[in-house]
């Protein structure tokens, strides 16, 4: 092994150790005494948290499956006026974080809010006591809210399967006399199981990661209890033990998703299948299809985004632009930008690991890099406490004796936040960069190697310039996800530092919804960027003739 190759293997080992450190730290912290509050947590807190988390996951899983699969079939199998608009609009809820939607609906559904006030005016009622709607602050309310925001995780892969991999089989079923319902349940639905399982798994991991929406709506999930146990009760061992329970749940979700997919693959041969031929709809059927497809867009994006725009305008017109909002926006951009730069640089090396280190070692490193995204933000934050403290101590011992000072990257510093962001969203950059590398003909790097370029020089001189659009798209997606991230930011941000997400969380906790509307709107506008990117990328491979009749 050459010295350069040995150095690369050593760097990969260090990176793998950093990625695995939060998991090891959780186990050590959980075993370090039971904590004074652990008997109380085990007897009263944990059972309720597990029950509510389980019910939330089951409810959200069923709802996103129904909404995502149903809307994917609607826009893939039928042609009606407005279908092309609906095809793109169904992705819009991805632009709104769950805690922002909860924030908006709590104000919308307030007894003195616009919805109940409008209904009372319509019915001629004067007192809020005369009209009683179901309370949104409940487990069913949280299931509905998260389901209408997270269904695009199922819609996107299922729609892609219906459009590009199922055309021949579905047309064969129709030629044999199967109607739309029978074709869907007997052919399309079994065919889509791998895509549905993938989307539901992602939606459930987002549900587990959520802390803002669940806390706003009064649902005491495991994520909320980790936050409350650490921050409110100052019981780190107890928080680590609950976090381990959550980590076990994540492993279970991943196993279930793999089991649901099994060895099934997408229909079709090695080449792209014929696009699905759509059944034309007209009259009341076309109107009903458009109404059904528009409902999740309206509830998951239209109502909350529209209300936030109106509330922000009212707040800005009455009191001007909040003075602190500019600083919070700057903090959000700076921390997200720094973390994105680190994430892209590390992601590039991880994605190139199979060619730099060998296929087996490289693929193992890529799988380890996905751990951060699989771990909820609260679990990752708790797991990073001890490693960051040890690193601070090591730096102090290394530099302190000679220079009298040492760089601090532990809890309460911006460096800790950047490290946590990088670990959490590294897999986004890795996936995008891998996709870019896959489009490069293997003859180009082979030619560079034959001309005497080394592996690393080939990566920088040949592959990176060709893959930069994919790398840039991964950077954009990572930046927006980092800017929206709430649990990690809440738990690891420096003292007296507010970002848009933490400002919004604080306003919602105080009940001053109108003061947080501008921050919420800025977060939504930021989230629209990756959705537009997804739409642009999604339109690329679709042949012209597949859009006919829409």
* 314 inside domain: no
Lookup: tokens for 184: 């869907």
- Burial of 195 by CB count in 10 Å (0-12 exposed, 13-18 middle, 19+ buried)? buried
Show Cβ contacts of residue 7 under 8 Å, excluding neighbours closer than 6 positions: none
* 536 inside domain: yes
DSSP category for residue 211: -
The closest of 523, 400, 486, 23 to 215, measured between CA atoms, is: 486
Same-domain status, 332 and 229: no
Phi, psi for 280 (deg, rounded to 5): -75, 140
Same-domain status, 244 and 350: no
DSSP category for residue 130: G
Which of 19-23, 129-133, 453-457, 498-502 is the most confident on average? 498-502
Same-domain status, 176 and 226: yes
Lookup: tokens for 116: 């109940």
Same-domain status, 38 and 20: no
**What is the band of 268 on the pLDDT scale with cuts at 50, 70, 90?**
very low
Dist. CA 129–CA 277, nearest whole Å: 53
* 95 inside domain: yes
Dist. CA 398–CA 268, nearest whole Å: 59
Write out pLDDT tens, residues 243-258: 888 888 777 777 776 6
Least confident of 124-128, 133-137, 184-188, 430-434: 184-188
Dist. CA 540–CA 26, nearest whole Å: 44
| C-alpha count within 13 angstroms, C-beta hemisphere, residue 270 | 0
* 503 inside domain: yes
Dist. CA 197–CA 149, nearest whole Å: 17
Least confident of 156-160, 403-407, 516-520: 403-407
Same-domain status, 186 and 45: yes
Show Cβ contacts of residue 429 under 8 Å, excluding neighbours closer than 6 positions: 343, 344, 346, 347, 348, 351, 471, 474, 475, 478
CATH of the domain at 379: 1.10.3720.10
Look-up of token digits 């976090």 = 243
Dist. CA 145–CA 201, nearest whole Å: 18
Is residue 272 pLDDT above 50, yes or no?
A: no
Count of domains for the chain: 2
CA gyration radius for the chain?
Answer: 25
Phi, psi for 282 (deg, rounded to 5): -145, 170
Please, are residues 468 and 344 in contact by the beta-carbon 8 Å criterion? no
Question: What pLDDT is recorded for position 342?
Answer: 93
Percentage helix, strand, coil for the chain under 3-state DSSP, each rounded to 5: 80, 0, 20
From residue 451, give the alpha-carbon distance in Å to each of 184, 438, 441, 504: 55, 22, 17, 56
* % of the chain exceeding 90 in pLDDT: 14
Question: What pLDDT is recorded for position 550?
Answer: 39
* 313 inside domain: no
- Burial of 131 by CB count in 10 Å (0-12 exposed, 13-18 middle, 19+ buried)? middle
Please, are residues 526 and 484 in contact by the beta-carbon 8 Å criterion? yes
Same-domain status, 409 and 484: yes
Please, are residues 103 and 508 in contact by the beta-carbon 8 Å criterion? yes
Question: What pLDDT is recorded for position 146?
Answer: 95
Same-domain status, 18 and 39: no
Question: What pLDDT is recorded for position 538?
Answer: 57
Same-domain status, 215 and 357: no
Please, are residues 79 and 163 in contact by the beta-carbon 8 Å criterion? no
**What is the band of 52 on the pLDDT scale with cuts at 50, 70, 90?**
very high
The closest of 64, 80, 288, 10 to 197, measured between CA atoms, is: 64
From residue 387, give the alpha-carbon distance in Å to each of 236, 379, 381, 383, 536: 14, 14, 11, 8, 41
3-state SS, residue 209: helix
Lookup: tokens for 278: 């759509």
**What is the band of 271 on the pLDDT scale with cuts at 50, 70, 90?**
very low
Exposure string over 357-383, b if 16+ CB within 10 A, otherwise e: beeebbebbbebbbbbbbbbbbbbbbb
pLDDT greater at residue 40 or residue 491: 491
Same-domain status, 497 and 535: no
* Average pLDDT of the segment spanning 103-117: 83
Same-domain status, 269 and 346: no
Show Cβ contacts of residue 273 under 8 Å, excluding neighbours closer than 6 positions: 164, 165, 166, 167, 168, 267
Q: How many residues are present in the chain? A: 550
Please, are residues 420 and 380 in contact by the beta-carbon 8 Å criterion? yes
Owning domain of residue 362: 1-24+321-511
Same-domain status, 279 and 331: no
Question: What pLDDT is recorded for position 1?
Answer: 56
Concatenated DSSP letters of 296-344 = HHIIIIIHHHHHHHHHHHHHHHHH-S-HHHHHHHHHHHHHHHHHHHHHH
* 316 inside domain: no
* 516 inside domain: no
* 71 inside domain: yes
Angle (deg, nearest 10), helices 464-484 and 513-539: 160
pTM listed for this prediction? 0.80
Question: What pLDDT is recorded for position 294?
Answer: 94
Write out pLDDT tens, residues 86-103: 988 998 898 888 988 988
**What is the band of 334 on the pLDDT scale with cuts at 50, 70, 90?**
very high
Is residue 33 pLDDT above 70, yes or no?
A: no
Same-domain status, 330 and 472: yes
Write out pLDDT tens, residues 391-426: 777 777 766 655 556 566 665 678 889 999 998 998
The closest of 527, 530, 436 to 484, measured between CA atoms, is: 527
Evaluate the CA torsion angle 136, 137, 143, 148 in order and state its sign: positive
Look-up of token digits 């587990």 = 208
Lookup: tokens for 72: 């994917």
- 7, containing H or E segment: helix 3-31
Lookup: tokens for 544: 């012209």
Exposure string over 161-186, b if 16+ CB within 10 A, otherwise e: bbbbbbbebbeebbeeebeeeebbee
């Amino acid at each position: 092994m050459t010295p350069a190759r040995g150095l690369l293997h050593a760097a990969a080992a260090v990176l793998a150790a950093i990625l695995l450190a939060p998991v090891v730290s959780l186990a050590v912290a959980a075993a370090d005494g039971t904590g004074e509050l652990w008997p109380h947590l085990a007897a009263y807190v944990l059972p309720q948290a597990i029950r509510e988390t389980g019910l939330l996951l089951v409810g959200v899983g069923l709802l996103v499956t129904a909404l995502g699969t149903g809307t994917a079939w609607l826009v893939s199998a039928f042609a009606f006026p407005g279908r092309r608009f609906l095809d793109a609009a169904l992705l819009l809820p991805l632009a709104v974080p769950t805690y922002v939607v909860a924030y908006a609906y709590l104000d919308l559904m307030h007894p003195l809010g616009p919805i109940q006030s409008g209904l009372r005016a319509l019915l001629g009622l004067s007192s809020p006591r005369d009209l009683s709607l179901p309370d949104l602050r409940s487990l069913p309310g949280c299931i509905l809210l998260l389901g209408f925001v997270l269904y695009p995780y199922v819609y996107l892969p299922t729609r892609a399967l219906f459009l590009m991999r199922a055309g021949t089989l579905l047309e064969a079923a129709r030629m044999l006399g199967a109607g739309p319902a029978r074709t869907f349940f007997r052919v399309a639905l079994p065919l889509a199981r791998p895509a549905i399982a993938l989307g539901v798994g992602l939606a459930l991991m987002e549900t587990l990661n959520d802390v803002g929406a669940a806390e706003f709506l009064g649902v005491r999930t495991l994520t909320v209890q980790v936050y409350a146990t650490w921050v409110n009760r100052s019981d780190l061992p107890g928080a680590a033990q609950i976090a381990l329970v959550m980590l076990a749940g994540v492993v279970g979700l991943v196993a279930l998703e793999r089991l649901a997919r099994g060895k099934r693959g997408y229909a079709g041969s090695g080449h792209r299948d014929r696009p699905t031929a759509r059944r034309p709809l007209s009259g009341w059927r076309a109107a009903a299809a458009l109404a059904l497809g528009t409902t999740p867009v309206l509830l998951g994006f239209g109502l909350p985004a529209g209300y936030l725009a109106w509330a922000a305008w009212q707040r800005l017109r009455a009191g001007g632009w909040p003075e602190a909002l500019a600083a919070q926006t700057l903090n959000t951009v700076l921390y997200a930008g720094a973390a994105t730069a680190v994430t892209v640089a590390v992601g590039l090396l991880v994605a190139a690991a199979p060619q730099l280190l060998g296929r087996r070692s490289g693929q193992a490193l890529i799988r380890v890099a996905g751990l951060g995204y699989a771990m909820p933000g609260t679990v990752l934050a708790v797991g990073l406490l001890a490693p960051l403290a040890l690193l601070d101590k090591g730096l102090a011992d290394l530099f302190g004796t000679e220079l009298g000072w040492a760089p601090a990257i532990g809890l309460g510093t911006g460096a800790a936040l950047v490290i946590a962001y990088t670990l959490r969203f590294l897999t986004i950059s890795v996936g995008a960069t891998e996709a870019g590398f896959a489009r490069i003909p293997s003859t180009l790097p082979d030619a560079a190697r034959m001309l005497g370029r080394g592996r690393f020089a080939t990566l920088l001189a040949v592959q990176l310039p060709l893959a930069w659009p994919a790398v840039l798209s991964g950077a954009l997606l990572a930046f927006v996800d980092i800017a929206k991230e709430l649990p990690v930011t809440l738990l690891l941000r420096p003292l007296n530092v507010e970002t848009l997400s933490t400002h919004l969380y604080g306003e919602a906790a105080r009940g001053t919804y109108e003061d947080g509307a501008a921050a919420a709107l800025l977060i939504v506008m930021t989230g629209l960027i990756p959705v537009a990117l997804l739409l642009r990328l999604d339109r690329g491979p679709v042949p012209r003739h597949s859009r006919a009749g829409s």
